[in-house]
Amino acid sequence: MDGFRAYPLCCALALLAGCGNLLPSERAEVSSTFRDYLDAETSFERAIPGRTTRSELFTLGFDPQQGGNGRILSFLDVRMLFVQPNIPIDYLPDSLVRCLEAKERCNGYAFEFTQTDSQRVGSFWADVLNFRKNRQVQGWNLRAVFVLVDDVLVHKVSNGEPQIRRYQVQRNPLGPLQGAGEFLSDQLK
């Protein structure tokens, strides 16, 4: 009889032990031809102002139509991106000044590649009962802008985060009752 009573207890403990795997997870990826930040940064470095053509830029993975996640910039977009009020044109690199002088022959591309993996971690019961939600976010992102005159790259700039590591904690002292006041006031409207 003791073995018979221990069986449901063991099953319940096994079920509860695996509850952490029941927490939601989320993966967000902006589709790209790049595996990771280093791959994207390496391709960015291969684009050489004054030598790289538009077709070579596309071959490197920076093609807004094939790879996606890129914006095509007109001459006016490039101007608005780099020229700021109260900052003299003299502060701009010569390559951008040449672009501004070329007017309609100047255009560009702006790309943003992002990959994040978000996992809810911590106590299953605290999460389900809305007392505490812990989220761990990891990933990378890269933003790159290329400026071309007559189909030749004249200027490039990039920034990004090679290692995104964030830990978010949301605490609700009232647990499942947290936000009930807002819900009730919304219902009374």
DSSP notation for 88-156: -GGGS-HHHHHHHHHGGGEEEEEEEEEEEEEEEES-HHHHHTTSEEEEEEEEEEEEEEEEEETTEEEEE
Mean pLDDT of the chain: 81
Compute the distance between CA of residue 112 and CA of residue 71 in angstroms, rounded to an integer.
9
Compute the distance between CA of residue 124 and CA of residue 137 in angstroms, rounded to an integer.
18
Q: Do the Cβ atoms of 104 and 78 come closer than 8 Å?
A: no
pLDDT for 147-166, tens place per residue? Answer: 999 999 999 999 999 988 88
Residue entry with tokens 């053509």: 53
pLDDT for 4-50, tens place per residue? Answer: 566 555 555 445 555 555 655 555 555 668 889 999 999 999 999 99
Higher per-residue pLDDT: 55 or 182: 55
pLDDT for 111-138, tens place per residue? Answer: 999 888 877 777 777 666 677 777 888 8
Q: Per-domain residue ranges for the chain? A: 25-188
The two beta strands, 106-121 and 70-73, are: antiparallel
pLDDT for 45-80, tens place per residue? Answer: 999 999 999 999 999 999 998 877 899 999 999 999
Compute the distance between CA of residue 189 and CA of residue 126 in angstroms, rounded to an integer.
31
Identify the pLDDT of residue 117. Answer: 82
3-state secondary structure 96-107: HHHHHHHHHHEE
The SS3 of residue 48 is coil
